[in-house]
Amino acid sequence: MSIIFEQENQVFHLQTKNTSYIMKVVSGKYLSHVYWGKKIHTPDMENAQLNRGIGFSAVTDKENPTYSLDFICQEYPTGCGTDFRIPAISVLFEDGSRNMQLLYKGYKITSGKPKLDGLPAAYVEKDSDADTLLITLEDSLQKVKVMLMYTAYRELDAITRSVRVVNEGNTQVILEKVMSTNVDFETAEYDFISLPGAWGRERHIERTPLRSGVQSVESRRGASSHQNNPFMALAEKGADETHGGVYGFNLVYSGNFTAGVETDQIFKARAYMGLNDYDFSWLLESGEAFQAPEAVMVYSAEGFGGMSRTFHDLYRRHLVRGKFRDEPRAILVNNWEGTYFDFNEEKILGIAKEAASLGIELFVLDDGWFGRRDSDTCSLGDWYVNKEKLPAGIAGLAEKINAFGMKFGLWFEPEMVSPDSDLYRAHPDWCIHVPGRTRTECRNQLVLDLSRQDVCDYIVEAVSNILDTANIEYVKWDMNRHMTELGSAGLPAGRQKEMPHRYMLGLYRVMEQIVSSHPNILFESCSGGGGRFDPGMLYYMPQTWTSDDTDAVERLFIQYGTSLAYPISTMGSHVSAVPNHQAGRVTSLKMRGDVAMSGNFGYELDLTKLSEEEKEIIRGQISGYKDLRTFIQSGDMYRLASPFEGNHTAWMFCSKDGRDIFAGYFQILCEVNPGIRRMKFTALDPDAVYEILGEGKRYRGDELMEIGLAVDCFGDFQSRTWRLRRI
């Protein structure tokens, strides 16, 4: 068991391989937080837990005047009482009162990990992978129970948390806020790390010291978004890739979220993460329950690298599902940047034939194959093939592409509707809208109201109709706008603020139905690139299109930032044409290939326009990647130099058995007469001998790590890669 309850001291001790997470029930009723960090023995509570009265604090118990909830580290604070810091939960009772007092009621420890009702969550394959603790808190006056669920993974330094609220009273309760996790740290001596961005510039790393007040990241867009990611980390001062304590938090959710830290008056830090309370409320009738999403928490004493590798292992083994979890991903070509909407069957077959001759394994037909869609102004929702463009239909096209020896994949944007579509004309109330208000269009489209069951049923049927009538082995599931004018024709007035979360529950239901009934299709999610790159989507779809920005230099930043939480096997990464369509930059085919190979590799350009010399380079990249993917998609990633800190980026991927290594070094701008640059490898066996494949040279592991290999980079946008094998 990785979870212990010490009856005498009323202490809960959760243990993962290298970490401890400790709580204590104080005075038989308050659940307090004691410790999270490196694995320790259960401490002496007199020493480990400080209680103190502080000026202007309200005292909770007359019998214990030094005991102030405003001071102690709490596990799940309610606010609205004697703690003036940010609460984890807020409710409105039927009598108009908002005061909630959650006192400890009991606990249960079990092996394994239960599923979450209707929500994505990390899982276990066998009960011995993890243990779960369920702590019940209760507000006895209003008869509301709050169940805190913790799962400690035995072999990974990850703990997952979620919260369930149950209304056991006879009256209605309106839930206005419910965080999935709250951790009170005794000091605020940390830096706050987040992954903000924008379309085409997703998940850039920001690091700032904690300061008094609240620092937070959030999305109010109806999607986890390009602008912020449901990830944050707190790092000890000076922590870097290999040293220092780092606490990582990631929400398994794809909609509005909030994550932040409040630094209080005595420089303690309260970290929280959960559903955004902006435009959220949930009416709980008597007897009903609300399940909040899951938060994943990772502690690493070995800097950011250790944190990321734990997230990567957890997501690859315990979040991503289905047969593609463990299968090397196919090398694909996607026609979007090659043709945009301007294609017909002949053009598509031309690209596919060329792709097959280069060794590409999968052809993906992107936007523009359905309805009258020759531009982004119409037809979303009308999921029937455009026979003028594709006279043999999708089934016929798939057959012809299969005849080249390639798989066939197809693009959908199922959550959207164009005002100029048969679907919208038939069901104008099926989109998110407020009666009498403008229905704002973004990219000429509206969002379907997935809080409605009839809309969800339509999507499942329309998408399945296509998937079931052609040999489709890959789907790109896109989503290209955020929510505005929030409202649903399917909900009563008092429940309108439930719409954004009900939308996510509907989307999860739809994806579950489609994905589980098509186990042989590899699904890739996308939202104008990486606008919904989150663990919630990865539970249904094993990979995500990382960004619409395919420029190799931009991708160094995006992929480096993304790797803080998400594994390489989840990142779609393609070589596109130059000048790059998003950045206008011209980079070499070699650098474009080297960057894209540090992800799920593919091409996104018109291959028929390439010279023989370029095709030869591409053949080399493809055969190279077929060897690499067997371990880079499942191995360990080490970040060696950050693009956010200088002109050079370096990373390496190492198979779990340490035998196979692929490393890349990238220079953004030319440096004339530079100092000596070296690629210093890491995590090698110092005594072993490694051969650099293709160069025939051999070195000891210690030399590669301590002296490294000299790197000559001449010119802007240069890259160098090494494929090593331990002899």
Catalytic machinery residues = 478, 548
**Cβ atoms of 683 and 654 closer than 8 Å:** yes
User: Torsion-angle region of residue 584: left (phi > 0), alpha (psi -120 to 50) or beta?
Assistant: left
Q: How far apart are CA 274 and CA 260, in angstroms?
A: 10
Structure tokens at 86: 């940010």
* Residue 340 vs 384, nearer CB to ligand DGJ: 340
| Shortest Cβ 366–ligand DGJ spacing (Å) | 5
* Residue 157 vs 367, nearer CB to ligand DGJ: 367
Q: If we measure between CA atoms, which residue out of 390, 371, 387 comes closest to residue 379?
A: 371
Q: How far apart are CA 413 and CA 422, in angstroms?
A: 16
* Residue 430 vs 545, nearer CB to ligand DGJ: 545
Helix crossing, 552-562 with 589-596: angle to 10°?
Answer: 10
Buried b (16+ CB within 10 A) or exposed e, 354-375: bbbebbbbbbbbbbbbbbbbbe
* Residue 165 vs 596, nearer CB to ligand DGJ: 596
**Cβ atoms of 209 and 192 closer than 8 Å:** yes
| Shortest Cβ 581–ligand DGJ spacing (Å) | 11
**Cβ atoms of 270 and 258 closer than 8 Å:** no
| Shortest Cβ 531–ligand DGJ spacing (Å) | 8
Q: How far apart are CA 42 and CA 48, in angstroms?
A: 10
What's at 695, amino acid-wise? E
Angle at 618 between CA 613 and CA 619, to 5 degrees: 95
What's at 586, amino acid-wise? V
Q: If we measure between CA atoms, which residue out of 524, 523, 568, 527 comes closest to residue 547?
A: 527
| Shortest Cβ 480–ligand DGJ spacing (Å) | 5
* Residue 544 vs 563, nearer CB to ligand DGJ: 544
| Shortest Cβ 574–ligand DGJ spacing (Å) | 9
Q: How far apart are CA 473 and CA 467, in angstroms?
A: 9
Residue 47: CB partners within 8 Å, gap ≥ 6?
none
Q: If we measure between CA atoms, which residue out of 275, 267, 281 comes closest to residue 184?
A: 267
**Cβ atoms of 545 and 525 closer than 8 Å:** yes
Q: Which residues bind ligand DGJ (CB under 6 A)?
A: 336, 366-367, 411, 478, 480, 526, 528-529, 545, 548
Beta-bridged to residue 600, according to DSSP, are: 572
Write the DSSP string, 155-171: SSSEEEEEEEEEE-SSS
Beta-bridged to residue 106, according to DSSP, are: 136
C-beta nearest to ligand DGJ: residue = 367
Q: How far apart are CA 222 and CA 119, in angstroms?
A: 16
Beta-bridged to residue 446, according to DSSP, are: 417
Q: Which helix (H) or strand (E) holds 320?
A: none
* Residue 131 vs 478, nearer CB to ligand DGJ: 478
Q: How far apart are CA 14 and CA 3, in angstroms?
A: 4
